[in-house]
Structure 1
Amino acid sequence: MRIAPLSFFVTATLMAAGVFAQDTATVNAVESELAVKQTELDNYTQILDKHISEEARLQSQLALLRTRSSELDKEKNQALDAMNELYRRLIDDPSIDITAAQTRYQQAVATHKQNKDDISMQLAAIASHRKDIEQIRITKHTLVNTLESLKDQLSTARVERLRNEFTREGTLEVEHTINCKRTETLAACEQRGQQLGLQKATKRFIDQVFANLTEQRIVEPKRNIAGAQVQVVNSHVVGSAFSGQGNYSVNLSVTMRGDMNNSRLCSLLNLDNRFCSEYGTPLSMGYQASYPTTFSDTQLTFKDSTDNIGQVEVAKVQQQPIIEVNTPRVANTKSTPSPEVNSVSVTLRSNVYDDEVFINGVSYGSTKLTVKVPKGIHDIEVRKLGYQPYKAQVNIRKAQTINARLSKKPESIAAPTPKSEQNTKPIKLATSTVTSASNNGIVIIPAGTFKMGDLTGNGLANERPVVEKVLSNSYAMQNTEVTVAQFRSFITSTGYQTEAEKGKGCAYYKNGEPIWELDYNWNNPGFKQADNFPVVCVSYEDAKAYANWLSGEKGQQFRLPNEVEWEYAARASTASEYPWGNEIGKNLANCGWCGSEYSNKSAAPVGEFSPNNYGLYDTVGNVWEWTQKRASQDDVTVRGGAWNFAPSLARVSTRLALAADFRANYIGFRLVRER
């Protein structure tokens, strides 16, 4: 008989046009909003540059007016002396004409007064201009945070779209012909033909899924690690026949649904793994799945129906619940499911967060995890970067719980864990020993050289260019931000009033912009705080006042760190975005959408998360920290990110410029001690 060509079609369900159009619309909407906000930011940057240039011009004019004021003052005094001399001569000689001297003095006085008025007007213009600049800077840092938040939303929308595209459902019809073997019965040839047809269908289904991905260009090169799977919803034989030449032809209609190891979605899209945390834990470094090339673990059965059209079912094999075919892994699902009498529930727990569970080499996500597995012997492994993996071979006959304990690798800071996971032993550092974060201890930062700025190309314009900095001497720095209790001691001792208490209060974030609240101050920042929280709602001058007081109390000189000192200490001999790498991770710091219990709610107690290599806590997130401004600066820079700012703004090189009198419930400080 003539061999029929392979036929292939995808039903409308495979395309699921409505769902995927909605996903794309979401992505497009976020991208559109991003473009709008980026344009706004660019415009404000240009406006700010013009205002700064105009202020420089006004300052230059002011300098000229002040120089002229000295000259006019000198001229006025000279005119006065000349007129006084003529008055003395007038006593002896009444005929002397003093009109010219009087006129000269009158003009000198008038010109001097006009110059003083011009200086006053110039100062008022500069003050007004500076106020505009401060407002523009606040608007800019608001837009920067909004932009970074939108980028996060875009990443989340892209992940969701890809997940939906991988889990679409569709029907394929394939026609396949094989040569029956001489030693093979007709039933065996028939079963083998249907099996190979089903295998073709699953491969073609996966090919079609990949071909229809919106971001196919990005994902396709990583297809070998995608972990894409196929669930066979149902399949049936549309037609089949044997030929006189010993060939068997079968026409199969197979309905399938895509499936995905969701923890790999971020890797496929080159995104931070935190965007996939809700779907599962990202794969450990270097893990790649392997896929067999046959259906040796499956069994196909053929049932006659009243119209003599066979029904192909894929039956689960007790030893292996998943079928893998080259790239795709096919999870077998009967069209009429039956109770899984040979499966039992297993619950896995561990002593760490963000781990990954492997059962027989297949990733199942992170603990706490409950899965059903066939009865029998299984290889269990729990991994986490920076920890020794837990491995065990378990004979599972009934429902049970497996508790895995992972121990940290020596001297590893690859994935720091929240303080709640740490033991109570002191942390050994090269330069000091830190036993507690709550006492605002001092650590020694060694001298050295480092590259300052945007090392990865992900930063803001004001983080470039990268420059090499040399710190010739070591210095001491507080290992935590100054706390509420410590600041209260200063207030009690001196009776000092912060700018928030004297002025218009303190700013807080609402609907993406700072709003002033008259009642907010260091003791009432708008969220519940304890004595061990970082003090906030303090201005640059407030922080300097505290430093001066502490210097008198301790008999040593304390001050705010300059930007070079701050970034060098925060980097702690690393060249990555964060102390542990280039991804923010989950629950490793307190910043917006960073996965901690404080994220987008409030500051966290100081020292709640692991320190960096130098023993400094909370250099990532919690609250922005004031740094010491240079003599030539009008603005002041804050560093480190905050609990309500995007994770990408908590990078070690991020800089935000603010007015010295600005204060907010997301800005605090820490000090350095002079040698």
Structure 2
Amino acid sequence: MRIAPLVLSAGIFSLGMAAFPLYASQVSELDNKIQTKQAEFDAYVNGLEQIRSSIKQDKDELERLIKLNTTLEDKRKSALLDMDKQYERLVADPSLDISASIEAYQYALQAQSLNKAKVKAQKTLLASNQDKLANSKMTQFSMLNEIENLKERYNFARVERIKREFGQGGKMEVSQSIACGEDVTFKQCAEQGNDLAKKTASQMLTNKLFQNVTEQALVAKHRDTAAAGIKIVDEKVLESGFSGQGDYSVKMLVEMQGRLPQAQACRLLSLDYRYCGVNADVADMGDFKEVEFSSQQNEPGMYTLTVRSDQYNDEVFINGKSYGASRIDAMLPPGEYKITVKKPGFHPYNTSIKLSGAKTVRAELSRLVVNLTPGQKFTDRHSDGTASPAMVAIAGGRYKVGDLQGRGLGNEQAPNDVNIADTFAISQKEITVAEFEKFVNETGYQTSAEKGRGCAIYESGAPEYNANLSWRKPGFEQSKKSPVVCVTKDDAAAYGKWLSRNTGYQYRLPTESEWEVSARAGSRTDYWWGNNIGAGNANCGWCGSRWSNNSTSPTGSFKANKFGLYDTVGNVWEITEGSPAVVRGGSWNFAPSLARASSRLEISSSFASNYIGFRVVREQ
């Protein structure tokens, strides 16, 4: 088949340009906001240097005063010794004038007392400036989070803009001629000519869309690896016919609509696939199916397998697949099945059955004696027999921590090795509302927020206190399985002490090293699964879950890391032991870049907010 040259009729092709000015304006507006906020942030960081300089001067002055106190104490003792000797001489000679010795001692005593007062005042000033720095760092972090959130909105707006740009349509008039072979019928030749005209029109629209896109230079680099789709909306043959030599000519009016399938926008803009609602592993395989959740439907010809156990909050596995806690009723086809029932603190129950009709399996679990064997999952018991938080044991040893990828902030630790002396256990999930409520109900404990100024919320780029908020009412709906929030470091420590008394084991807050080792689960990447946050992997700002930027999520709503810990990325910042107080892991309303394993946020020990919670450690 010989293809004759293509002829396009001028003046017919047009694009609907009015579909996306809103998104173009949003991108520009967000870019300007980012630049403005970045300038404000840089100025604020420079201001922090003045506070740090003051703290250094305060420390130097305190050190000087403490050294001076030693000198003045020596002078006081010397003056006292001299005065005592003068009094001894006065006994032998009552006419002796010892007023000079008395005055010297009084002067030395006053000098020392005055210096002690200065030491006390200097300590108060240093503590005040250190607290001021801690609060300023929170403000700094809040400003940074605002910038990161703007960047998230900026990238989402860019994706929406390019999708709108590639979603334009128009009409094109094309003239096409082809020469068909002798073995092709007239009908087949005409169909081939018409198809070729439509394909050519589609290619011309594709070229036009790539030429008109806003980020043309960036998009052009990735054109070969991404594809824009063209849908033929309507077609109309205006003229057609065959020549004496058998050539077929057609003039056709083609109406088309462009579209950019799922991950293609992110490919063209070099963005993480989560901005397009697609998981990276799926996108890399070329399968651009959007992230979605679905449920299985029962099919006819299947049987009911019922599994019960003698324990609550267990987990039933059928052929390795989790079906949740018993009792479960699974609709399955006939065949052989392996059933496992697990619960922390108990030996797993295993059995195999052949399903040829409705069947019930009753599992009995025996208690497991736990000695903190690395990797062991267990649950201690309260004095009333109820379960305490589920734990997982982490082996002692040397671990790599810190900003291993080199993308950290100034307050993050440089890459280094830490030595964990002994095996310890850490709670698999953040302490929940239900677990904290049990503590409050049994002890009558009142949190700092309930006794003081309430709980801080993140608004307008900074934390603001609301006297009406507490862990019972944090400003959004919480379930019993949600992580408890609006608690201070002291509140968390009080819970740990109560848990220790109630179980007979030593519970406390994790150190920063213990927390990071547990969160990384052996990884050296920004997140335990890799360097990209992905879509729907965690509850953090702009992380693609239904809770992102709205509220906490029930603990365990996302996959556990390789050590079996849930929500070490996002949901709530988690309090660690140390001075100053430091929280780790990011939260539901902070940007993904601040939920990396090495990210740190220094806070005041009295700070409570609805984006901070905690988990606990149990010692060997």
- Shorter chain as normaliser: what TM range? 0.7 to 0.9
2 CA distance for matches of 1:639 and 1:281? 25
2 CA distance for matches of 1:247 and 1:491? 89
Residue in structure 2 matched with residue 645 of structure 1 by the alignment: 590
Residue in structure 1 matched with residue 512 of structure 2 by the alignment: 563
1 CA distance for matches of 2:194 and 2:478? 67
Residue in structure 1 matched with residue 34 of structure 2 by the alignment: 34
Structure 1 residue 168: Cα displacement? 1.1
Structure 1 residue 119: Cα displacement? 2.5
Match of 1:139, as an amino acid?
T
Query: Secondary structure at the residue paired with 1:451?
Result: strand
Q: Deviations over 1:388-447 (max 9, x none)?
A: xxxxxxxxxxxxxxxxxxxx99989xxx99999x99943899833569998412221134
Match of 1:569, as an amino acid?
S
Q: After superposing the two structures, state which structure 1 stretch, 238-247 or 590-599, moved more.
A: 238-247
Match of 2:15, as an amino acid?
L
Structure 1 residue 603: Cα displacement? 3.1
Residue in structure 1 matched with residue 612 of structure 2 by the alignment: 667
Residue in structure 1 matched with residue 391 of structure 2 by the alignment: 442
Is the CA contact 2:374–2:395 (under 8 Å) kept in the aligned structure 1?
no
2 CA distance for matches of 1:484 and 1:660? 21
1 CA distance for matches of 2:191 and 2:565? 66
Is the CA contact 2:379–2:389 (under 8 Å) kept in the aligned structure 1?
no
Are residues 1:148 and 2:180 paired?
A: no
TM-score, normalised by the number of residues in structure 1 = 0.70
Is the CA contact 1:197–1:252 (under 8 Å) kept in the aligned structure 2?
yes
C-alpha spacing 1:40/1:519, structure 2 compared with 1 (3 Å): same
Computed over aligned residues only, the root mean square deviation of the Cα atoms, in angstroms, reads: 4.2
| Correspondence 1:169-208 to 2 at 5 A | 169-179=169-179, 192-208=192-208
Query: Secondary structure at the residue paired with 1:70?
Result: helix
1 CA distance for matches of 2:319 and 2:584? 31
Query: Secondary structure at the residue paired with 1:534?
Result: coil
Are residues 1:432 and 2:376 paired?
A: yes
Is the CA contact 1:171–1:255 (under 8 Å) kept in the aligned structure 2?
yes
C-alpha spacing 1:11/1:39, structure 2 compared with 1 (3 Å): farther
Is the CA contact 2:41–2:144 (under 8 Å) kept in the aligned structure 1?
yes
Q: After superposing the two structures, state which structure 1 stretch, 601-610 or 620-629, moved more.
A: 601-610
TM-score, normalised by the number of residues in structure 2 = 0.75
Are residues 1:573 and 2:573 paired?
A: no
C-alpha spacing 1:177/1:493, structure 2 compared with 1 (3 Å): closer
Q: Deviations over 1:256-279 (max 9, x none)?
A: 2212323443344333333223xx
Q: Deviations over 1:116-150 (max 9, x none)?
A: 34324423422332232132122122123212221
Query: Secondary structure at the residue paired with 1:258?
Result: strand
2 CA distance for matches of 1:567 and 1:527? 29
| Correspondence 1:63-462 to 2 at 5 A | 63-86=63-86, 89=89, 93=93, 96-98=96-98, 100-179=100-179, 192-224=192-224, 226-235=226-235, 252-277=252-277, 284=282, 286-288=284-286, 425-426=341-342, 431-433=375-377, 439-456=388-405, 458-462=407-411
Is the CA contact 2:377–2:390 (under 8 Å) kept in the aligned structure 1?
no
Match of 1:45, as an amino acid?
V
2 CA distance for matches of 1:493 and 1:367? 40
- Aligned counterpart in structure 1 of residue 560 of structure 2, from 611, 626, 644: 611
Is the CA contact 1:10–1:171 (under 8 Å) kept in the aligned structure 2?
no
- Could you list the runs of 5+ residues in structure 1 that have no partner in the other structure? 290-355, 357-362, 370-381, 383-407
1 CA distance for matches of 2:557 and 2:254? 54
Query: Secondary structure at the residue paired with 2:392?
Result: strand
Residue in structure 2 matched with residue 342 of structure 1 by the alignment: none
Match of 2:619, as an amino acid?
E
Query: Secondary structure at the residue paired with 1:663?
Result: coil
C-alpha spacing 1:47/1:265, structure 2 compared with 1 (3 Å): same
C-alpha spacing 1:218/1:417, structure 2 compared with 1 (3 Å): farther
C-alpha spacing 1:240/1:589, structure 2 compared with 1 (3 Å): closer
Is the CA contact 1:637–1:658 (under 8 Å) kept in the aligned structure 2?
yes
Identity %: 38
Residue in structure 2 matched with residue 360 of structure 1 by the alignment: none
Structure 1 residue 159: Cα displacement? 0.9
Query: Secondary structure at the residue paired with 2:119?
Result: helix
Query: Secondary structure at the residue paired with 1:641?
Result: coil
C-alpha spacing 1:281/1:368, structure 2 compared with 1 (3 Å): farther
Q: After superposing the two structures, state which structure 1 stretch, 594-603 or 224-233, moved more.
A: 594-603
Count how many residue pairs are aligned between Structure 1 and Structure 2. Answer: 553
1 CA distance for matches of 2:481 and 2:511? 25
Q: After superposing the two structures, state which structure 1 stretch, 111-120 or 143-152, moved more.
A: 111-120
- Could you list the runs of 5+ residues in structure 2 that have no partner in the other structure? 297-316, 331-339, 349-372, 381-385
2 CA distance for matches of 1:364 and 1:598? 18
Match of 1:663, as an amino acid?
A
2 CA distance for matches of 1:189 and 1:598? 57
1 CA distance for matches of 2:20 and 2:473? 47
Match of 1:115, as an amino acid?
N
C-alpha spacing 1:183/1:281, structure 2 compared with 1 (3 Å): same
Q: Deviations over 1:165-223 (max 9, x none)?
A: 11112344545454565777888766654543332222122122123323344444544
Is the CA contact 1:438–1:532 (under 8 Å) kept in the aligned structure 2?
no
Residue in structure 2 matched with residue 518 of structure 1 by the alignment: 467
| Correspondence 1:449-598 to 2 at 5 A | 449-456=398-405, 458-463=407-412, 465-471=414-420, 473-491=422-440, 496-598=445-547
Residue in structure 2 matched with residue 656 of structure 1 by the alignment: 601
Structure 1 residue 81: Cα displacement? 4.0
Q: Deviations over 1:500-550 (max 9, x none)?
A: 344333222234321212343344434444554433222223322332343
Match of 1:284, as an amino acid?
V
Match of 1:259, as an amino acid?
R
Is the CA contact 2:79–2:104 (under 8 Å) kept in the aligned structure 1?
yes
Match of 1:479, as an amino acid?
Q
C-alpha spacing 1:639/1:65, structure 2 compared with 1 (3 Å): same
Structure with larger RCO (C-alpha < 8 A, sep 6+): 2
Query: Secondary structure at the residue paired with 1:26?
Result: helix
Residue in structure 2 matched with residue 627 of structure 1 by the alignment: 576
2 CA distance for matches of 1:490 and 1:592? 30
